[in-house]
Amino acid sequence: MSLKPGLRYVQIAFNGSIRQVKKILPHIRYDPRIIIEAGTPFVKREGLAGVRLIRRMWRGMVVADLKITDGAREEVIFAANAGASAVTVMGSSPIETLDIFCESCAKFNMYSQVDMLGVKDPLRKVMQMKVPPDFIVIHKGRDEEANTRNIIRYKDITKVRSKFESKVSVAGGLTLDNVRSAYFNGADVAILNIISHSDSNEGLLESSNFRQLIPMILSEVGS
């Protein structure tokens, strides 16, 4: 799947089980502005079989959030063979890993996504790379949400955009009520987690009516 220049996207992240995917994904009508993510907890729970399931059920872009830290080439191949369109690496990884990651993604026709969770200066990190990634993910982690002083570092979007043309994704407790701020601050992609009632984090409740909810979110995305 090729992304269109200038178009904004919403990324729906599944972090639960295969059962959760089978229950919810059929209620998300295909739209080229929607990206489906196999979240890290989901992949750890279900393995690459979970990514393959999402690929069978979704004809659009699929992200395998592997959060690679080493052995980049082999893990990119894992994601590609499972049918993912994109895969993630941690921005805190060594530069060698980031370079091999981007080279491997290009070779296997995958979108490269660098997750800047815990990276204080994303721009500086990308400037050390041989080739910038397709996506830079500005990420406030799930554990960080408990600290009200931690905010999504939207200012990093402007800094990155001053030097690179990479798309910028934003993640960190986004909901229908605050997703507009992500786009207002320049994000190309807003990432929303599907959460259970027992989850202390913010996101989209798995019990929501997704046939109604997704169009409401897309109204904030624009066309």
- What's the number of domains the chain is made of? 1
Domain assignment present for 167:
yes
pLDDT tier at 183 (50, 70, 90 boundaries)?
very high
- The pLDDT value recorded for residue 125 is 96
Q: What is the CATH number of the domain that holds 28?
A: 3.20.20.70
Domain assignment present for 168:
yes
pLDDT tier at 198 (50, 70, 90 boundaries)?
confident
Domain assignment present for 31:
yes
Rounded Cα gap, residues 214 and 208, in angstroms: 10
The predicted-structure confidence for 158-174, as pLDDT tens digits, reads as follows 999 899 999 999 998 88
- The pLDDT value recorded for residue 144 is 66
pLDDT tier at 81 (50, 70, 90 boundaries)?
very high
> Is it the case that residue 52 has pLDDT exceeding 80?
yes
pLDDT tier at 131 (50, 70, 90 boundaries)?
very high
- The pLDDT value recorded for residue 150 is 61
> Is it the case that residue 141 has pLDDT exceeding 70?
no
| CA nearest to 89, candidates 104, 189, 81 | 104
Domain assignment present for 1:
no
Domain of 13, in residue numbers: 9-221
Domain assignment present for 23:
yes
| CA distances, 145 to each of 26, 29, 203 (Å) | 29, 30, 11
Domain assignment present for 197:
yes
3-state secondary structure the chain: CCCCCCCCEEEEEECCCHHHHHHHHHHCCCCCCEEEEECHHHHHHHCHHHHHHHHHHCCCCEEEEEEECCCHHHHHHHHHHCCCCEEEEECCCCHHHHHHHHHHHHHCCCEEEEECCCCCCHHHHHHCCCCCCCEEEEECCCHHHHCCCCCCCCHHHHHHHCCCCCEEEEECCCCCCCHHHHHHCCCCEEEEEEECCCCCCCCEECCCCHHHHHHHHHHHHCC
Contact yes or no for 65/38 (Cβ under 8 A) = yes
